[in-house]
Structure 1
Amino acid sequence: MSETNQPALMVPEVDMILPKNGDTTNTNKQGENPTERNYPSKVTFAKMNRVVERREYGCCGREKCGGTALVVVALVVASLALLFGFIGVANKGNIYVDVKNEMTVPQTVPAAAEIPETTDRVWTFAIGDYSNRLEYVEPESGQVKGYNIDVVNAVCRIAQKSCRLDWDDYNRCWESIGDDIEKQGGGIGLLGRWYDACTGWPVTYRRARTFSFTEAHAKKHLAVFMVKSGTPEGAFNWRNITGKTIGLLRYYIEDEDCIQSLTEVVGHDLTEGRVINYLTQQDLLSAVNNGEVDAVFISEFLGVKNNLQLASDRIDGCSLQGYSMMMRKDNTLATWWNPALNALIASTEYREICNGLEDESIHGSIPGPSARAVCIGF
């Protein structure tokens, strides 16, 4: 869904295999439900289009319409037919973003605050992909699928809400470009009301100062210090990192900010040069193996950990809550989302979604975490 600038990067505990190019990390931050439900709700899909059009109306009333007006009316009718066609498909309970075959016709996307709170209100969610069973692009169809999408689909149907997923870059939800952690902040997409919420983001102190969050739909992950495989036991004392150089993955919540907040770690007042950010997991692995850093500080579920040696306890301190919907503080999404999410978690449908995380007939060979690592109550 990323922990980076992504909502949620979670990968399997043991079965993760780094791709041939060695990179399992999105440089910036998931399947259709096997059982059809009959909740009376409408769902549409689209890729976010940044162009907001001005509506053009043809003549009406007593005025006699000319040829141009007839063309405009025909276009409006055709657009409505296309829209109702989408809704008809969505009523079958499938919500997805078709990236490969997206519409090329610009869509009118009003700002969230401009949409009245009625039964016809369409709630929009930004979604990304990072080749993980939480959020990924299915190679054959070009659709974004995964656990996070299954949850949005089910919650919207239970709440009888019309919803749409918009594919967008993670930095438009939370901006964290560059090494300076103090320059992190809200992304232009969420601040600019391009959508109601961003899907699957862990809650941190820094993010909570800018945005609000729904209740978690996935567990939070803990962090670990890891060293080069074969390092003698006790050679690295994670409780005292004075003078040590630590490698981090850029955009992840296991960052300098988190390390400095750990009360169980001495020497966490990291000076310049003692923290090095890397763009990919392969870069991070190489840095450990060639001695560029003494240890790395990463999520407990990253695939790169299978090539490193654990050097600490599992540390809880980088996130306040698990993966949630991140939204503007003036958005009312949580008022209906939280009750519907709780109803989903208590249902057999949620168990089906979670079991799907480990079912190759649903997600194929896409890597990702186990149901135990992700699902609430598992």
Structure 2
Amino acid sequence: MEPANSEKQLYNKDKSGGAGNGKLYLVLLVVAVCFAIAAFIIAIVSLSKQNGSSASPSVVNVGSTSGSADYEDDKVWLLQGGGVGINQFYISEETGQLEGFFTDFVNAVCRIANKNCKVVVSSFTNCWNSEAGETSQGGFGLMAGWFDACTGFRVTPERQRTFAFSDQFTKSPPQAFATLPGNPKNFDWQDITGKTIAFFDGSNGDEHCLAKAEGIVGAVLPAENIRHCLPDQCFDLLKDETVDAIFADAIAFQGRTDVEEVTDNLQACPVGGSAMMTRYDSKLIDWWNPAQAKLLASKEYHEICNDVKVGHGHQPGFDPEDFCINY
């Protein structure tokens, strides 16, 4: 049946309107595509101009040591130091600040490198740590980035497995055993079988170092014969005869009257002298080594070494000729 006339008119009107809408959609689509193409071309031209311009802004990676040069210039380099009470590092009773050879050396290197450095006091165990009988490992502070480097740490194979080192700036000192004055127990350092030995926390001279020493019977100690302690605590353990002897860098015993060194020139641990110990991803060594080389070749280095006696001579420790390079 054919639709009525009025229905035909409505049908034709709807058909005509639908066709018109289709044409309108097509026009809008073409216009949108043209705008998209134009925007794409403009973006390419703009990018090309930026890449070819010397005035393009630098990107600063805030909070990372791998940022731009501008960020590195503004960075405060935090360097760990410990107040161990010797002429290399100690807390001054007059100023309350960390002083000594290492502090003087660090300040000079940073000045030459034009870097903003701050020596911060922190326990050695935050740089290097070990538990009695366990494998030594990196200290949490340096591993976690509390500071950028630890100052004056000896280079050893164990530490090189975990950390990077700058060029060395002191000689490698010997290690030694120390007993009470007069060695009342007749401690024989060449046979320590069954003896209880104290080691400084965070020191390169630990039980693993001792185990590699040649000519010492019983050098591989069982865990129950090992004591780890801070220096003052170790000396207290020796005084109350909890331990038979202390094993450490010989510098720790210089100038002390409450202990007696019973070893001569025992080179057991380090493969090198003092250096800056840092993480392998740090950029500190990149600027530190060139600045340090300039300092070592200058008269200022000898003046810093001389000040070990002049300015820091009231503290125990080695003489400058014992650890300064080419002194």
User: Scaled by the length of structure 1, what TM-score is found?
Assistant: 0.60
Match of 2:292 in 1: 341
Q: Percent same amino acid at aligned positions?
A: 32
One-letter identity of the residue aligned with 1:373: D
1:210 CA displacement: 0.8
State how 1:42-57 maps to structure 2 within 5 Å.
Answer: none
1:110 CA displacement: 5.4
CA contact (8 A) 1:224 1:297 kept: yes
SS of equivalent residue, structure 1 residue 267:
coil
CA contact (8 A) 2:171 2:323 kept: yes
CA 112–141 in structure 1, closer or farther in 2 if over 3 Å, else same: farther
For structure 1, the residue ranges without an aligned partner over 5 or more in a row are 1-108
1:316 CA displacement: 0.9
| Mapped pair 1:165 → 2:102 | no
- 1: CA distance between counterparts of 2:78 and 2:278? 9
Name which one, 1 or 2, has greater alpha-carbon Rg.
Answer: 2
| Mapped pair 1:293 → 2:243 | yes
1:288 CA displacement: 4.3
CA 325–240 in structure 1, closer or farther in 2 if over 3 Å, else same: same
- 2: CA distance between counterparts of 1:323 and 1:338? 13
One-letter identity of the residue aligned with 1:336: W
| Mapped pair 1:375 → 2:327 | no
| Mapped pair 1:328 → 2:282 | no
1:264 CA displacement: 2.4
1:256 CA displacement: 1.0
- 1: CA distance between counterparts of 2:221 and 2:259? 23
Q: How many residues are aligned here?
A: 264
- From 136, 143, 149, the equivalent of 2:97 is 143
SS of equivalent residue, structure 1 residue 336:
helix
CA contact (8 A) 2:173 2:273 kept: yes
CA contact (8 A) 1:241 1:268 kept: yes
Deviations 1:299-338 (A, max 9, x none): 2122475433443332112222111111111223223322
1:289 CA displacement: 5.3
CA 189–358 in structure 1, closer or farther in 2 if over 3 Å, else same: same
Q: Which has the higher helix share?
A: 2
- 2: CA distance between counterparts of 1:328 and 1:339? 18
CA contact (8 A) 1:225 1:310 kept: yes
Considering only aligned residues, what root-mean-square deviation do their CA atoms show, in Å? 3.1
For structure 2, the residue ranges without an aligned partner over 5 or more in a row are 1-60
SS of equivalent residue, structure 1 residue 301:
helix
- 1: CA distance between counterparts of 2:92 and 2:160? 32
Match of 2:177 in 1: 225
1:112 CA displacement: 4.2
Deviations 1:79-122 (A, max 9, x none): xxxxxxxxxxxxxxxxxxxxxxxxxxxxxx95443432457253
Match of 2:110 in 1: 156
User: Scaled by the length of structure 2, what TM-score is found?
Assistant: 0.68
Deviations 1:276-313 (A, max 9, x none): 334444x5445445554333322212247543344333
1:244 CA displacement: 2.8
One-letter identity of the residue aligned with 1:272: A
Per chain length, whose mean CA-contact separation is higher, i.e. which structure has more relative contact order (CA < 8 Å, sep 6+)?
Answer: 1
1:194 CA displacement: 4.0
CA 188–117 in structure 1, closer or farther in 2 if over 3 Å, else same: farther
- From 184, 200, 203, the equivalent of 1:252 is 203
| Mapped pair 1:120 → 2:73 | yes
1:345 CA displacement: 1.2
State how 1:11-160 maps to structure 2 within 5 Å.
Answer: 111-118=63-70, 120-122=73-75, 124-130=77-83, 131-159=85-113
